Amino acid sequence: MDLSLNLLDLEKTPASDVKAKGWPDLMRKVLRSGAVVITNHNHPQAVVVSAEEYRRLVDQANGHSAGAQRAQSLQALQAEFDAHLSSLQDGGLARALARPARRGRRIRLGKSL
C-alpha cells in the first residue's frame, strides 16, 4: 500500500467522532483507506495506520526491504558455509579424500585400520 506523504490527501476524522463512534468505525476507515488523520479542532494530531503498514514503514525507514533482508540472510549463510568448509579442509578431510581407500580396510575418521 503506497500512502501519500501529504496529510491533506489522507482521510480525516475528528477526535470527537472517534470517541462517539468508537474504535471499530475508525478501524474500518483505516482498512478502507490505509491511513486516517485524527484531527482536533481541524488540526492534524495523529495518523492511524494498520499494524502491518506500520511494520512496513519502519522497515522502509530502516532500509530493510524484503530484498535487502534476503541478501543479508544469504550473506550470513554463505559465511557460515565457508567457515564449515574451511574447518573441514583444515581437519584433513582433503587428505583423506585424496588417498584411495584400500579394499578390506575400514576407514574411521580419516584413519585406516
Instruction: Tell me what pLDDT residue 15 has.
Output: 93
Distances (CA, A) of 95 to 70, 88, 91: 36, 11, 9
**Could you give the 3-state DSSP secondary structure of residue 38?**
strand
CA distance 99 to 12: 77
Model pLDDT for residues 94-113, shown as the tens digit of each residue: 676 777 766 766 666 655 55
Kindly state the average pLDDT of the residues 12-38. Answer: 93
Residue 24 C-beta-side C-alpha neighbours within 13 Å: 0
Instruction: Tell me what pLDDT residue 25 has.
Output: 93
Q: What's the grid cell of residue 64?
A: 530493510
Kindly state the average pLDDT of the residues 79-108. Answer: 74
